[in-house]
């Protein structure tokens, strides 16, 4: 994923910052505890497509 795109993307719910997961398949919003999928290099920024982070992922700094 292009780093310029990552700089301008925001969580669609809280408008907070997102970080790219280590495996580069998800954009993570820690504030909402959601992970938005990245499919074929395109972020899917729909709440219905996001998965909820588990407790370990929320605590991971």
Per residue in 12-46, pLDDT (tens digit) is: 999 999 999 989 899 999 999 999 999 998 999 99
State the pTM of this model. 0.87
- Per CATH, which fold does 1-60 belong to? N-terminal domain of TfIIb (2.20.25)
Confidence at residue 1, expressed as pLDDT on a 0 to 100 scale: 67
Instruction: Please determine, for residue 57, whether its predicted confidence score (pLDDT) is greater than 90.
Output: no
Residue 2 has pLDDT above 80, yes or no: no
Determine the Cα–Cα distance for residues 55 and 47; give it in Å rounded to an integer. Answer: 19
Say how far apart CA 52 and CA 29 lie, in whole Å.
Answer: 10
């Amino acid at each position: 994923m292009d780093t310029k795109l990552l700089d301008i993307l925001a969580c669609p719910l809280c408008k907070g910052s997102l970080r790219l997961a280590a495996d580069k398949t998800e954009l993570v919003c820690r504030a909402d505890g959601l992970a938005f999928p990245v499919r074929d290099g395109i972020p899917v920024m729909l709440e219905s497509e996001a998965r909820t982070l588990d407790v370990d992922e929320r605590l991971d700094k």
